[in-house]
């Protein structure tokens, strides 16, 4: 049974460990693994080839994805989805592992509505915005990249008595910002899921400055689009010289952590096992409360991920 693996959407640390485990495990099961290069664009273009052990030798520690990824506008059109499906059939591929996030799963959901498709999605996104799973491949590495950056920024903030507004990724989900704020001891955290009481924060910060506070660290989730606004507020109303740091795509790169490698291995093995036992399965791997499982693709794409209220309660929001 030929099985293929594809990366779709934004890259995340842990893709390469998943790719290596896929190739090694599929061969171990006596089947043939295929790579689909360049994401959905590559699937449309028929950029598909048999994978070998040599292809995946020495890639576990590398960030990114050796088979590359893409975002595809063409995939929104039926004619190109049909071409993509026909390319799978031409190669004899009967099962597909999809490393991706929300957009990728919506694309697979659409494809599975129109054609007989056997796939398992593996949540692979630093945004951690996939419904039904506590975490995704890439999240732990991204959090550690942010943690390292914040520790260094705090050194400068305290030395020069400045406020720093640090923007982190996450799309419309504030998970990265919330966890980073908690673990770095930030004074302010701005996320889409919680209102920011500016007047109360202003009162607290001014009082603390009078009592000797010399710097402020503020974490802003990109989804709020409030980075510049908060920086201006700190400068004008709080009266502290302020700098903005947008961490950007460094959060997507780097060698995956042990946790992300283990998660990638476990998700991939379970996905392959499932595909070998099914013929028309449209599932997404999840982990909830330490237990691995699967959910129907429809359930995943129809619901919105929500941050655990207990995590929100841990935020030092100064209100």
Residues designated as active site: 127
Instruction: Read off the tokens for 177.
Output: 């910002």
Beta-carbon contacts of residue 36 (< 8 Å; ≥ 6 apart): 4, 5, 6, 42, 43, 47, 48, 67, 96
Residue/partner pairs of 114-119 with CB below 8 Å, 24 or more apart: 114/78, 114/81, 114/82, 114/85, 115/81, 115/82, 115/85, 116/280, 117/85, 117/280, 117/282, 118/94, 118/275, 118/278, 118/279, 118/280, 118/281, 118/282, 119/95, 119/275, 119/281, 119/282, 119/283
Q: What is the C-alpha separation between 185 and 218, in angstroms, rounded?
A: 10
- From the centroid of its chain, how far is CA 292? 18
Identify the residue whose tokens are 């903005």: 244
**What's the chain's length in residues?**
319
Residue 214 CB: number of other CB atoms within 10 A? 13
> For 237, which DSSP code?
I
Work out whether the CA dihedral 46, 12, 63, 1 comes out positive or negative: negative
> For 238, which DSSP code?
I
Do residues 244 and 229 lie in contact, with contact meaning Cβ atoms separated by under 8 Å?
A: no
Q: What is the C-alpha separation between 260 and 38, in angstroms, rounded?
A: 22
């Amino acid at each position: 049974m030929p099985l293929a693996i594809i990366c779709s959407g934004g890259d995340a640390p842990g893709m390469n460990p998943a790719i290596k485990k896929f190739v090694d495990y599929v061969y171990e099961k006596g089947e043939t693994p295929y790579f689909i290069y360049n994401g959905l664009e590559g699937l449309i273009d028929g950029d598909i080839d048999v994978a070998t052990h040599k292809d995946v030798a020495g890639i576990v520690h590398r960030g990114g994805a050796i088979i590359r990824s893409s975002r595809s506008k063409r995939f929104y059109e039926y004619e190109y989805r049909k071409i993509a499906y026909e390319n799978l059939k031409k190669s004899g591929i009967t099962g597909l592992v999809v490393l991706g996030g929300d957009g990728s799963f919506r694309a697979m959901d659409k494809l599975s509505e129109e054609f007989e498709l056997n796939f398992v999605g593996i949540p692979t996104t630093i945004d951690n915005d996939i419904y039904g799973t506590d975490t995704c491949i890439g999240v732990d590495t991204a959090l550690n990249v942010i943690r390292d950056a914040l520790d260094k920024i705090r050194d400068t903030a305290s030395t020069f008595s400045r406020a720093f507004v640090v923007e982190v990724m996450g799309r419309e989900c504030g998970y990265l910002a919330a966890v980073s704020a908690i673990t770095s001891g930030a004074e302010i955290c701005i996320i889409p899921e919680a209102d920011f009481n500016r007047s109360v924060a202003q009162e607290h910060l001014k009082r603390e400055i009078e009592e000797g506070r010399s710097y402020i660290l503020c974490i802003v989730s990109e989804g709020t689009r409030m980075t510049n606004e908060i920086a201006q507020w700190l400068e004008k109303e709080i009266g502290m010289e302020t700098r903005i740091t947008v961490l950007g795509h460094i959060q997507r790169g780097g060698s995956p952590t042990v946790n992300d490698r283990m998660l990638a291995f476990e998700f991939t093995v379970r996905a392959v096992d499932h595909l070998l036992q099914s013929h028309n399965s449209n599932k997404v791997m999840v982990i909830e409360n330490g237990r691995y499982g699967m959910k129907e693709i429809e359930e995943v794409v129809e619901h919105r991920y929500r941050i655990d209220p207990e995590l929100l309660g841990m935020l030092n929001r100064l209100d």
